[in-house]
Amino acid sequence: MPATLTSTARILAIDDEPANLKLLEKILGSQGYGTCALVQDPREAVARYLEVKPDLILLDINMPHLDGFAVMTQLQALQDPLLPPIVILTAQAGREFLLKALDHGARDFVAKPFDRVELLMRVRNLLEAQLAARLLHDRQAVLEDMVRVRTAELQETRLSVVRRLGRAAEYRDNETGVHIVRMSRCCALLAARLGWSADACELILHASPMHDIGKIGIADAILLKPGQLDPDEWEIMKSHTMIGAELLAGDDSELFRMAREIALTHHEKWDGSGYPHGLAGEAIPLAGRIVAVADVFDALTSRRPYKGPWTTEAAVDFIRERAGSAFDPAVVEHFLAVLPEVAAIRSASPDPD
């Protein structure tokens, strides 16, 4: 065994006989093993284990207070992924005894009285195996860290794409970026009120800004028309939901799946009179129902080239009156309950002068 391994290996010896501990310390020290922690009282075994973090355990079976089987049970309960190999020190050699020891986690046996050469060979072999296991575990941990970093980078890239696409749609619609900031925060607020998890609330926060991305595909003559759209123009305008869903298709991440769902369904209505598919009630995904309320409220209370901002009271009345027809009544109920927080979101991100 390399000298560096013998000098750095940590061995924990547990035996109620002081003479046995001294003998083990002498045999192991003669081969350069630098750390050999000795435990005479088995009740101290777990505490010493946590302190020393050994690479190998030498364990007697017949001890007062706690026998070796009980000690192994306590060590297993720690659920250490790198629990070191346990070598049983015993004068017993019966088959049932050996099977019981193996069942409790023992990896090898050394008979008493100790044979010096045998003991050292078993210690060396098990330490080398533990070293290999530790290296493999560390390598796996490094790989997992690399995957986490790469996943975080990919998520950040997706979020960057989301934000840019959302802004692109707003530039096409002569809106300001604060609309999607307020609307998305209101969506997350509503989702939390509806009992969504923190991760799901963050998901809708980032996915909802792409609700109108399909407007990129609508001609300026229709999108920016100052007056009312004729029936043919309105049909073209409604197609932005399908265009948005198509633009967001092909990425199987949770973020893009929710964004596509929102783009496609945020103009559906509770009574089935919405578009593009005329979905009704709970057939409309909840994310789409949440965005419908948040988007309409913020649009009504915001200034646009073709209209002034509504008062909060007027916008709230509009949404309340349409609960059960345009909007999910439950979502409206929760929206009304969080109006102070919605007002705070608007105050934090006001429209530019």
Nearest to 208 by CA among 146, 165, 171: 165
Residues 131-168 pLDDT 10s: 877 777 777 777 777 877 776 776 677 667 766 776 66
Contacts of 59 (CB under 8 A, 6+ apart): 14, 15, 68, 71, 72, 86, 87, 88, 89, 106
Q: Which CATH number fits domain 173-348: 1.20.120.430, 1.10.3210.10, 3.40.470.10, 3.40.50.970?
A: 1.10.3210.10
Indicate the domain borders of the chain.
Answer: 3-143, 173-348
Q: Quick one: pLDDT at residue 285?
A: 97
Cβ–Cβ under 8 Å, residues 282 and 308: no
The predicted pLDDT at position 283 comes to 97
* pLDDT tens sequence across 231-252: 999 999 999 999 999 988 888 8
Confidence (pLDDT) at 318 = 96
- 3-143: CATH topology: Rossmann fold (3.40.50)
- pLDDT at residue 310, rounded to an integer: 92
C-beta separation of 262 from 207 below 8 A: yes
Mean pLDDT of residues grouped by 10 in the chain (353 residues)? 66 90 87 84 92 90 89 90 86 77 82 82 84 78 77 70 68 66 93 95 91 88 83 93 91 88 96 96 97 94 78 95 96 96 90 72
Bridge partners, 57 (sequence order): 12, 86
Cβ(210)–Cβ(220) under 8 Å?
Answer: no
